[in-house]
């Protein structure tokens, strides 16, 4: 019993946080983190680590160190980043540059996909300077107009000067062309004939351009036109039609007006193909969801009329209103002359007397007796008719005829007949798909006709055929999984993260718990057992008083009408003194004696327990019996701390 009481006192001393010796030490005894000890010497590493500030910062420092270690390990597992040293070098320069870089200790490599010579990105600029000191690449030396300054000589002929000038212009144009994003390399050839002083005898220059595109990129029509206009604007008297652009595969890119075998230009052929592609996509979108994308094949041919027809119509009097007088001119001329009379001679040849006219506009008889008269009249009338002049230009690219051919897999998907009843025959190779019927073909034909706007007057034709399709060949893996760089990098990252978590759980977690004062799970269980023992002792020292002021038996919360102590359930509580516990009785025997009498458990029963496990079991029984008192004891312990 003496040993048990001492253990309980030790537990109480441990639970009293403010009464221990460490809490009463002053700042002078603890010392600063960087101060001197009592003897005047520098503190040791152990003393520095024992400082509160250092303890609080230690978990963060350890996490930072571990993160640095993790990042360094991850970077060490990654391949170094390489950059192309000089893109566009020739194979000869690439071989010489590789040997030079190996001699300089730069460890170059050749990219398998692009074939470019690459060096580590950390040594990129040093490698370029080193190759420049070796005069590499050779094409990177003086080129273009820069080469003209070094080739000037008093003995150079005029022909060589013209040739050098043409070569310089070619190189400058090539430099300008490779600035386009999709062009990897370019060469320009100029044919510059000697011009005559007579305009009619001049020969126009010509140019040709060979371009090499980057892998995965296309040179579109706008870029080709830009190259043509760039070259044409750089050479005097050079027309854009005299510039030819060819790619590295031998395709003529500048043949904008070249006619196809069907008599169509490139633009007209592209317009025809867009029509056909539109109809074909409509058929796939309609039949694909019904029979499956892999079970339908369609081809469309559209016959277009690109003839340009311009008609002018002139219509007179469209409303049948007759002619209309636009202008009318009336002209009346009268001439009066006198007859010759008398004897010839000077005296008799006198002009006749003037005629006399009356006010009414008529002449007297005497005035016209000897006078002759000539009358002439003329009438001019201009007529105008209503007229309409109409100019009609037919649309270019009119559809003349549409021909459609559709092939459908003979077997409809998803329709599997059941195998024969009974035993499966030996020659049964599996279920067969149901064939498409004639009614299905008719429905498909009607759907296609509606898609392409079928017009029998144009001579349109739609053909639908059901035929078996060959199954698609299985795609083989181009690269094993263990050679996939992305997968390997992902595995490396997962492995590094797993190692980091294991190190954090095994090494950092215990140290962080200890420095932060957080108990580990097994330590927490031991502390709970000690707290339960302390609670039991506190409960034993705080009895419940009855109406008369006398303490009630343990476990009693009041008295009944008869004055007997009862528990929370109204059961009569028998005092522990009335229960006899023999020496060396087990826990089960004590529980059997207490259960029938509903007796409470006191702290004195701990002295009679044989083992530590029995003591812990009694404490748990005590907590289960009176949880309210246990809560009050815990509150008191918290206030004391």
Distance CA 304, CA 260 (A): 14
pLDDT at 207 over 90: yes
Distance CA 367, CA 338 (A): 10
Average pLDDT over residues 604-613: 60
Q: Dihedral, CA atoms, 354, 359, 360, 366, nearest 10 degrees?
A: -30
pTM, rounded to two decimals = 0.38
pLDDT of residue 1: 38
Average pLDDT over residues 200-226: 88
pLDDT of residue 6: 40
3-state SS, residue 57? helix
Tell me: the pLDDT tens digits for 9-28? 444 443 444 343 333 344 34
Q: Which of 242, 141, 127 is nearest to 193 (CA)?
A: 242
Residues 6+ apart with CB under 8 A from 575: 553, 565, 599
Distance CA 223, CA 183 (A): 10
Q: Which of 81-85, 396-400, 414-418, 439-443 shows the highest mean pLDDT?
A: 439-443
Cβ burial of 595 (10 Å; 0-12, 13-18, 19+) is exposed
pLDDT of residue 285: 92
Q: Which residues pair with 299 in a beta bridge?
A: 405
Q: How many residues make up the chain in this entry?
A: 641
Greater confidence (633 vs 474) lies with 633
pLDDT of residue 4: 40
pLDDT at 162 over 50: yes
**What percent of the chain is modeled with pLDDT above 70?**
61
Q: Which range (190-204, 490-504, 521-535) has the least confidence?
A: 521-535
Query: Would you call the peptide bond into 137 cis, given omega within 30 degrees of 0 as the criterion?
Result: yes
Distance CA 552, CA 555 (A): 8
Tally of CA atoms within 13 A in the half-sphere of 568 that contains its CB: 8
Average pLDDT value over all residues in the chain: 73
User: Across the beta sheet with 296-305, what order do the strands follow?
Assistant: 296-305, 398-409, 461-467
Q: Which of 133-147, 340-354, 437-451, 489-503 shows the highest mean pLDDT?
A: 437-451
pLDDT at 59 over 80: no
Q: Per-residue confidence at 445, pLDDT binned at 50, 70, 90?
A: very high
Residues 6+ apart with CB under 8 A from 271: 304, 397
Where do runs of H (alpha helix) occur along 292-419?
none
pLDDT of residue 277: 93
Q: Which of 222, 208, 226, 212 is nearest to 183 (CA)?
A: 212
How many CB atoms are located within 10 Å of the residue 66 CB? 15
Average pLDDT over residues 236-260: 82
Q: Which of 328, 327, 332 is nearest to 378 (CA)?
A: 332
Which helix (H) or strand (E) segment holds residue 292: the answer is: none
CA 587 from centre of chain: 72
Which helix (H) or strand (E) segment holds residue 228: the answer is: helix 221-234
As given in the structure block, the two tokens for residue 348 are: 């008799």
pLDDT of residue 22: 36
Greater confidence (342 vs 268) lies with 268
How many CB atoms are located within 10 Å of the residue 207 CB? 24
pLDDT of residue 7: 40
Tell me: the pLDDT tens digits for 575-595? 555 455 555 555 556 555 555
3-state SS, residue 575? coil
pLDDT of residue 139: 59
Distances (CA, A) of 579 to 594, 605, 616, 622: 8, 11, 21, 17
Distance CA 190, CA 170 (A): 7
Q: Per-residue confidence at 176, pLDDT binned at 50, 70, 90?
A: very high
Tell me: the pLDDT tens digits for 34-45? 445 555 566 677
Greater confidence (31 vs 227) lies with 227
Q: Which of 207-221, 329-343, 459-473 shows the highest mean pLDDT?
A: 207-221
Average pLDDT over residues 112-116: 78
As given in the structure block, the two tokens for residue 156 are: 């150079």
DSSP 412: P
Tell me: the pLDDT tens digits for 216-240? 888 888 899 899 999 999 999 899 9
């Amino acid at each position: 019993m003496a040993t048990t009481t001492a253990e309980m006192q030790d537990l109480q001393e441990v639970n009293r946080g403010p009464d221990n010796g460490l809490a009463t030490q002053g700042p002078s005894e603890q010392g600063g983190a960087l101060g001197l000890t009592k003897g005047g010497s520098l503190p040791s590493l152990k003393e520095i680590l024992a400082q509160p500030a250092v303890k609080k910062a230690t978990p963060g420092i350890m996490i930072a160190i571990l993160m640095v270690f993790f990042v360094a390990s991850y970077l060490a597992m990654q391949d170094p980043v390489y950059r192309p040293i000089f893109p566009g070098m020739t194979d000869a320069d690439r071989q010489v540059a590789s040997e030079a870089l190996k001699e300089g200790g730069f460890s170059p490599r050749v990219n398998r996909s692009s074939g470019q010579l690459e060096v580590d990105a950390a040594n990129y600029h040093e490698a370029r300077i080193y190759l420049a000191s070796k005069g590499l690449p050779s094409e990177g030396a003086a080129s273009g107009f820069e080469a003209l300054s070094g080739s000037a000589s008093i003995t150079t002929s005029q022909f060589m000067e013209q040739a050098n000038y043409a070569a310089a212009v070619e190189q400058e144009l090539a430099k300008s062309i490779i600035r386009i994003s999709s062009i990897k390399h370019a060469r320009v050839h100029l044919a510059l004939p000697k011009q005559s002083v007579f305009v009619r005898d001049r020969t126009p220059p010509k140019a040709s351009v060979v371009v090499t595109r980057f892998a995965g990129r296309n040179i579109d029509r706008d870029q080709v036109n830009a190259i043509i206009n760039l070259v044409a604007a750089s050479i005097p008297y050079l027309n854009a039609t005299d510039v030819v652009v060819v790619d590295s595969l031998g395709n003529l890119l500048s043949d904008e007006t070249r006619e196809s075998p069907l008599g169509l230009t490139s633009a007209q052929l592209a317009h025809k193909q867009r029509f056909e592609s539109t109809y074909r996509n409509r058929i796939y979108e309609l039949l694909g969801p019904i029979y499956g994308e892999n079970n339908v094949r369609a081809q469309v041919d559209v016959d277009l009329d690109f003839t340009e027809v311009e008609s002018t119509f002139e219509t007179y009097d469209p409303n049948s209103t007759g002619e209309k007088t636009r202008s009318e001119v009336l002209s009346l001329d009268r001439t009066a002359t006198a007859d010759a009379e008398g004897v010839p001679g000077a005296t008799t040849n006198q002009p006749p007397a003037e005629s006399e006219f009356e006010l009414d506009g008529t002449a007297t008889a005497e005035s016209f007796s000897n006078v002759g008269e000539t009358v002439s009249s003329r009438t001019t009338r201009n007529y105008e008719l209503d007229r309409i002049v109409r100019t009609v230009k037919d649309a270019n690219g009119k559809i003349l005829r549409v021909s459609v051919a559709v092939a459908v897999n003979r077997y409809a998907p998803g329709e599997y007949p059941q195998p024969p009843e009974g035993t499966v025959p030996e020659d049964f190779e599996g279920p067969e798909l149901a064939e498409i019927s004639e009614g299905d073909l008719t429905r498909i034909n009607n759907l296609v006709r509606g898609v392409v706007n079928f017009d029998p007057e144009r001579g349109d034709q739609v053909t639908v055929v059901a035929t078996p399709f060959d199954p698609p060949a299985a795609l083989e893996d181009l690269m094993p999984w263990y050679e996939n760089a992305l997968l390997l990098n992902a595995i490396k990252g997962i492995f590094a993260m797993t190692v980091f978590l294991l190190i954090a759980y095994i090494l950092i977690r215990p140290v962080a718990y200890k420095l932060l004062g957080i108990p580990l799970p097994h330590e927490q269980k031991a502390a709970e057992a000690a707290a339960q023992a302390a609670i039991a002792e506190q409960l034993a020292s705080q009895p419940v008083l009855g109406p008369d002021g006398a303490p009630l038996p343990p476990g009693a919360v009041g008295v009944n009408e008869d004055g007997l102590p009862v528990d929370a359930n109204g059961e009569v509580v028998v005092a522990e003194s009335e229960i006899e516990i023999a020496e060396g009785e087990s826990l089960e025997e004590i529980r059997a004696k207490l259960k029938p009498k509903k007796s409470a458990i006191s702290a004195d029963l701990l002295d009679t327990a044989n083992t530590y496990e029995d003591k812990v079991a009694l404490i748990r029984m005590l907590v289960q019996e009176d949880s309210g008192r246990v809560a009050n004891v815990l509150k008191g312990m918290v206030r004391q701390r």
